[in-house]
Amino acid sequence: MTHFVRGNQLKLLRNGAEYFPALEAAIESAEHEIYLQTYIYQADIIGILIGNKLKQAVLRGVTVKVLLDGFGCKDLPQSFTKELTMAGVQVMFYRPQISPWTLQKRRLRRLHYKVAVIDGKVGFIGGINIIDDFDVPNRMPNNVPPRIDYAVRIEGNLLPEMVWAVHKLWRHISWAHLRMLNAGYAATVWHNHLQDNKLLTTNQETKAALVLRDNMLHRRDIEEAYLTAIMQAKSEIIIANAYFVPGRRFRQALLEAAKRGVKVKLLLQGRMEYFLMFATHAFYKDFLKNGIEIYEYRKSFMHSKVAVIDSHWATVGSSNIDPFSLFLAREANVLVKDSPFATELRLDILAAIQIGAYQISPQEWAQGNIVKQFASWLAYGLVRCFLGLIGHANEQ
């Protein structure tokens, strides 16, 4: 069951243009420790900037621990990580084995987090990697706007859970790497932050929950949080998700919501990065037939993993609605029950629909997309084969 806590200050951050300055400011103010855990870290203008801020923090005596995914950061130059480590930044890789010639489930389980925690006082969570917004696939100079993505800056009573989560994962990977962890320091920071949070009295009605997905005790927590909110929806469901290949239960929940009169809008990626993304189209016919509105964002690339339900419940995080995120990867989402926050996110999604999305009509899909329909079922078949190999075929 999802555990919501009151007493939080949340700020919605749109794209790297808002996220990176907020992250930089938090790093610059750090006094004790910084945890940064991300799927992709690119040594571009943004990665270099954040790296320099981390190195400067070390010079001030701050403990800095960076956890990167082995596959997501496979192109990160060793020279860059060496510079960080030589400066005192502790860097580890989650599952550095990335052989393309194996479908072993353990090799496919990646760290998909985009989380940062500073001094146990400020946290960030969302879908934004450490990469320039303009670094999008197949981009020609000056002709594609930055990708759409979101993160949340968090202060308040949710921070102890975030501290616990990043410490626990670092400790787990440290053990895997046969490294020592200063558990005494971690426990001290944890204790001190619990004491600090007893003083919080503002924003008592802003309820938030940290929901993690792993391959042990929390395999379905994010999916179940979505399903619970969808089944309780009364008027509107808006989902903006870049990689959308929902399982049977998720699809059925959306269809049942539409049938009981809930307005369902899906904002999906309109620019295909990979052939398997065509699997998303396999569900268009059934969704459209039942009144679900489908919009494809085509102005640029959309990397969003957000949703708003009844202008009160919202989620922002790293989890796509696809087999990779729901069945394999470590993911982190924040759930929010707060009307102002949810309304702000809702309006931003609707603006993206208005400015850069194309609505797919039932008639157009039925009559004019034979090639896409064939490609979608071919891609979906490949997805099912993949799920069969990893033991999740019955989910689709």
Q: Annotated catalytic sites, by residue?
A: 112, 114, 119, 303, 305, 310
Q: Of 274, 233, 271, which Cα lies nearest the Cα of 254? A: 233
Q: From edge to edge, which strands make up the β-sheet containing 122-126? A: 8-14, 150-156, 122-126, 114-118, 33-38, 63-69, 90-94
Report CA-CA distances (Å) from 206 to 38, 156, 284, 312, 339.
26, 10, 36, 11, 9
- Distance of alpha carbon 314 from alpha carbon 331, whole angstroms: 16
Q: Tell me the angle at which helices 78-86 and 45-59 cross, rounded to the nearest 10 degrees.
A: 20
Look-up: residue for tokens 């005790």? Answer: 217
8 Å CB contact between 267 and 240: yes
Which position has the token pair 């989902």? Answer: 239
Q: What are phi and psi of 10, to 5 degrees?
A: -120, 140
Write the CB contacts of 206 (distance below 8 Å, at least 6 apart in sequence).
Answer: 6, 7, 8, 9, 10, 156, 336, 337, 338, 341
